[in-house]
Structure 1
Amino acid sequence: MTIAPITIWGRPPSTNVKKAVWAAEELGVAYNFELSSGIHGRNDEIRAAGNPNGLVPTLVDGDFVLWESNAIVRYLGHKYGSDTAFFPDSPEARASADKWLDWNATFLKAVWDAFYLNVRAKDKYDADKVKASAEAVAKVIGEIVEPVLKKQKYLSGDEFGFGDIALGAAAYLWFGGVPEAERIALPVFDEWYGRISARPAFKKAVAVPW
């Protein structure tokens, strides 16, 4: 689907920005990307565009302005992918996928030290903290995510959908930022990641340099 462009404000390495861009790519939504935030600055321009927080991602679609990454994913699904495999019309199917967008905060809390100390703060590397973080990832994924993925191919159901976006983007912190020797094997999770990371939209939106 190709439509009139929207604008996404953000910086490519941001996991939250990746969610918005990935959703747009999956839906074939044409968009302009405004490089901003972090070292790029332009926070006042983001406020002027309609987001009083001055933060990214910010989406501008005509006169409509939206912030908060999960809200942006849901909006894009509603407007540009409703009643498709990406954003099903069934309330039950949609809610079952939707919960994973918010649950992702649990995974981020678990993975953060392992990622941060390997990528963002190598000078503060602490093997014990990394090990504890990896064990926390193994626990939440093994107890909560893998049982679902043993029954269906994706968090969204039998087909890829918006419910896979949040954890998929965050999983790049684990697979792309934590050395394999420090990760705990999670075979079902690993297979799911292999499927989603092979998608062209993932490669464009998520698998980018830090």
Structure 2
Amino acid sequence: MLQLLGKITSINVRKVLWTCAELQLPFEQEDWGAGFRSTETADFLALNPNATVPVIKDGDFVLWESNSIIRYLASRYGGARLYPADPQARARVDQWIDWQASELNRSWSYAFLALVRKSPVHQDAEAIKASSANWTRHIGMLDRQLEATGAFIAGRDFSLADIPIGLSLNRWFSTPLDHPHFPAVSDYFQRLTDRPGFLAYCRNGTP
């Protein structure tokens, strides 16, 4: 059975949990990371030299990096409806997965650490303001994309891209800052409530 190493409060671990739910894929999960078993042990570092979660063990196959993991699982376990084989459709999904990791994450990092995690080294008022504004700008980009598709982030159908995007939007709504009304984003976030994986691993009270 698939083994998943990582605490369920981690947003990156929840990407994998939600993907498993979409694939109806059974797994065994172990809590690793801050507050649980240390990822700095020799045994864990042998699996992932970055000492980060999640890590999966699929038989003898070990993989880290959450976006690589969800792509692998969809490809390995019959997830063509999530991760299409057509090169252009797959590239569109990949585009939004990568954008979430490279652009959206960077926009919210400072504000989230300051306002939710209460990090003492992230309390500069101007930096919080700038990060919040940049975060909102990126949510506006999502709103325009969702208005164009009328449904999900990469098109008319739910795809693997909606998992990291949905988790990021949950984080945005859960952070105490001004939330301008983005109609397409609000409709989309409500649309995701039809999915059990979203309710279990995204809209579950964990930002």
- Give the TM-score range, shorter chain: 0.7 to 0.9
Structure 1 pair 35/136, CA: closer, same or farther in 2 (3 Å)?
Answer: same
**Could you tell me which amino acid in structure 1 is paired with residue 118 of structure 2?**
A
- Pairing of 1:39-118 with structure 2 (within 5 A): 39-43=35-39, 44=41, 45-48=43-46, 50-84=47-81, 86-104=82-100, 105-118=102-115
Unaligned runs of 5+ in 2: none
> Which region of structure 1 is more displaced relative to structure 2, 126-135 or 114-123?
126-135
CA distance in 2, matches of 1:209, 1:166: 14
- Pairing of 1:125-204 with structure 2 (within 5 A): 128-142=126-140, 144-152=141-149, 153-176=151-174, 178-179=175-176, 182-204=178-200
CA distance in 1, matches of 2:146, 2:13: 25
Contact in 2 for aligned 1:135/1:184 (Cα 8 Å) = no
State TM-score, norm by structure 2. Answer: 0.87
- Structure 1 residues 101-139: Cα deviation after superposition (integer angstroms, max 9, x where no partner): 110131112122332222111766565444333321222
**CA apart distance, 1:15:** 1.2
* Percent identity of paired positions between Structure 1 and Structure 2: 32
Unaligned runs of 5+ in 1: none
**CA apart distance, 1:203:** 1.8
Structure 1 pair 115/197, CA: closer, same or farther in 2 (3 Å)?
Answer: farther
Aligned length: 201
User: Secondary structure of the residue that 2:35 maps to in structure 1?
Assistant: helix
Contact in 2 for aligned 1:87/1:162 (Cα 8 Å) = yes
State TM-score, norm by structure 1. Answer: 0.85
Structure that is richer in helix per residue: 1
